[in-house]
């Protein structure tokens, strides 16, 4: 089956149903936090990260239920990072996906606690999975610690907060690799762990993940400068004085960089001996990511 937007839409509906059932298990906990958690998922989202796990996991013939569990984990982690990213002390955004951010819908304290809770639940989902072996759980949890901690999201966010419009491209690239690329690293490298890949294969997955991170983030930066609020669902043109690569190097150079990263991504897929028929599907997915307007 060739990749198309409908495939992603169908996955999103199925995934959100499964994630909703998972979150309902938290209903007996403190009502305010439970309400904020439910709201955080009700605002929607692309669900791209769990889709990547499921999409690429199918090429390696991995257990679909294990893939869903890891997808829930990465989406919970991603959602927590967005909630904290939107806080006044961070990026100070009032709108996310066209709806009030958590700190505006509730309050700042609830937003902080909601994010903290989601991060813990994300780890718990892996530890309680019935479809992932104990030996794999240890490695996947270690990977998640790397990607969401000081080697990933946390340091990336810190760099972002301390950078300006005049920051050099090399520093912007480092920040994006940590803030955006790290969670994509989890999406791809976790598959290699489940598949018992060797060190060289894992290295290919790591390189592949950061190529994808570049494709995604440069496109995201372009959307801030060229997108529409109605489709993107958040305040735009806010990065004009921030370390946004689109404002730094311009539209045409961004498109060239995206093209190079796409070629590199496909190259690493070949090194992982992914079938040509599957690479056609991957190319279609990448083209969709690049052309997206949301």
Q: Which two tokens stand for residue 124?
A: 């718990």
Q: Note down the domain range covering 236.
A: 5-291
Alpha-carbon span 55 to 159, nearest angstrom:
31
CA dist list (Å): 207 to 45, 122, 243: 26, 24, 23
Alpha-carbon span 182 to 204, nearest angstrom:
15
Average pLDDT over residues 64-75: 98
Res 39 pLDDT > 90: yes
Average pLDDT over residues 167-178: 93
Alpha-carbon span 55 to 32, nearest angstrom:
35
Alpha-carbon span 234 to 71, nearest angstrom:
24
pLDDT in tens, 250-287: 999 999 999 999 999 999 999 998 999 999 999 999 99
At 95 the three-state DSSP class reads strand
Contact 26, 37 (CB under 8 A): yes
CA dist list (Å): 16 to 5, 11, 68, 120, 150: 17, 8, 11, 19, 29
Looking up tokens 């937003």 gives: 111
The pLDDT of residue 165: 85
- Number of domains present in the structure of the chain: 1
Contact 26, 39 (CB under 8 A): no
Nearest to 180 by CA among 275, 98, 249, 78: 78
Lowest-confidence segment of 118-132, 204-218, 219-233, 254-268 by average pLDDT: 219-233
Per-residue pLDDT band for 241 (boundaries 50, 70, 90) equals confident
Res 231 pLDDT > 60: no
| DSSP structure class, residue 167 | -
Question: Euclidean distance between the first and final Cα of the chain, in Å?
Answer: 25
Checking DSSP bridges between strand 95-96 and strand 99-100, what pairing results, if any?
Answer: antiparallel
Alpha-carbon span 275 to 33, nearest angstrom:
45
| CATH at 240 | 1.10.600.10
Alpha-carbon span 245 to 121, nearest angstrom:
33
Helices (H), the chain: 5-23, 31-42, 48-59, 64-85, 102-105, 108-127, 134-148, 153-161, 169-176, 182-194, 199-226, 229-232, 245-249, 251-271, 276-291
The pLDDT of residue 263: 97
């Amino acid at each position: 089956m060739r990749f198309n937007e409908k495939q992603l839409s169908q996955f999103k509906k199925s995934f959100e149903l499964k994630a909703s059932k998972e979150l309902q298990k938290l209903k007996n906990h403190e009502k305010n936090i439970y309400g904020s958690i439910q709201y955080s998922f009700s605002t929607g989202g692309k669900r791209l990260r769990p889709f990547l796990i499921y999409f690429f996991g199918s090429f390696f013939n991995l257990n679909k239920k294990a893939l869903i569990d890891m997808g829930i984990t990465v989406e919970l982690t991603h959602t927590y990072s967005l909630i904290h990213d939107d806080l006044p002390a961070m990026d100070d955004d009032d709108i996310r996906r066209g709806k009030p951010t958590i700190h505006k819908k509730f309050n700042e304290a609830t937003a902080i606690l909601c994010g903290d809770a989601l991060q813990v639940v994300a780890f718990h989902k892996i530890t309680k999975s019935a479809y992932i072996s104990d030996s794999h759980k240890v490695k996947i949890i270690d990977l998640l610690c790397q990607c969401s901690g000081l080697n990933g999201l946390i340091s990336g966010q810190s760099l972002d907060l301390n950078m300006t419009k005049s920051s050099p491209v090399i520093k912007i690239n480092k920040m994006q690799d940590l803030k955006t690329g790290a969670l994509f690293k989890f999406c791809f490298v976790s598959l290699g762990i489940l598949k018992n890949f060797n060190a060289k294969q894992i290295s290919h997955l790591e390189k592949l993940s950061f190529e994808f991170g570049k494709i995604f983030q440069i496109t995201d930066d372009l959307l801030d400068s060229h997108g529409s609020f109605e489709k993107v669902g958040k305040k735009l043109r806010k990065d004009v004085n921030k370390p946004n690569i689109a404002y730094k190097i311009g539209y045409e150079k961004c498109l060239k960089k995206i093209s190079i990263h796409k070629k590199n991504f496909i190259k690493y897929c070949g090194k992982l001996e992914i079938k040509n028929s599957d690479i056609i599907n991957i190319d279609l997915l990448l083209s969709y990511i690049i052309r997206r307007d949301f």
